[in-house]
Amino acid sequence: MSDPKDCLYCQNNQTLHDLMIEIAQLSVSRVFLFKEQTYRGRCLVAYKDHVNDLFELNDEERNAFMADVAKVTRAMNKAFHPEKINYGAYSDKLSHLHFHLAPKYVDGPDFGGTFAMNPGKVYLSDVEYQKLIDAVKTNL
C-alpha cells in the first residue's frame, strides 16, 4: 500500500495540476480533465480517499464510486459524442484508485486499440480547456 504523503491525488500538488484540471467533486470522487487531449474530452475519476484498489472498498463505497464513473461517462458521451469511451484502471506506479476515461472516435487516434497513457501531442489553450470543462459540467 502506498503512502498518501507520496500520492499525487492526496497531495493535490503542482504535479497534479500540471497534468490535469479539476472539473468537479462528486459523491465519492473527484473528476479531472486531462491537459493532454489526444483523445478529445479525456477525463479521470479519482476516489476521494486514499485506497489502492477497487476490491478494498465495501459494496456501498464501490457502488457509489462506479456510479460516479458512470455519471462522468454519460456526461462525456452527451458532450463529445464519441464512438466509444475506453476505461483504464492502471495504478502500477501510482496506487490510488482512479479510472482513466478516454473517448475514442472512428477517425481518431488508436481507434480499435488501446489508448496511450500520455502521448504528449495535443495541448490546448485555456479557453479550449474551459470549453471542454463546461461541456462536461453541463451534462453532469
Tell me how far apart the alpha carbons of residues 30 and 79 are, in angstroms, rounded to a whole number.
Answer: 19
Domain residue extents for the chain: 4-139
pLDDT at 90: 84
pTM of whole model > 0.85?
yes
Half-sphere exposure of 112 (CA within 13 A, CB side): 2
For the domain spanning 4-139, the CATH number is 3.30.428.10
Pair 33, 23: CB distance under 8 Å: yes
Amino acid sitting at position 135? A
**CA 121 distance to own-chain centroid:** 18
pLDDT at 81: 98
pLDDT at 5: 84
Q: Which residues of the chain have pLDDT under 70?
A: 1
Tell me how far apart the alpha carbons of residues 62 and 25 are, in angstroms, rounded to a whole number.
Answer: 16
- Strands in 84-88's sheet, in edge-to-edge order, are 20-25, 29-34, 43-47, 98-104, 84-88
CA distances from 21 to 35, 114, 132 (A): 7, 23, 11
| Beta strand 29-34 pairing with 98-104 | unpaired
Model confidence over 36-69: pLDDT tens digits?
A: 999 999 999 999 999 999 999 999 999 999 999 9
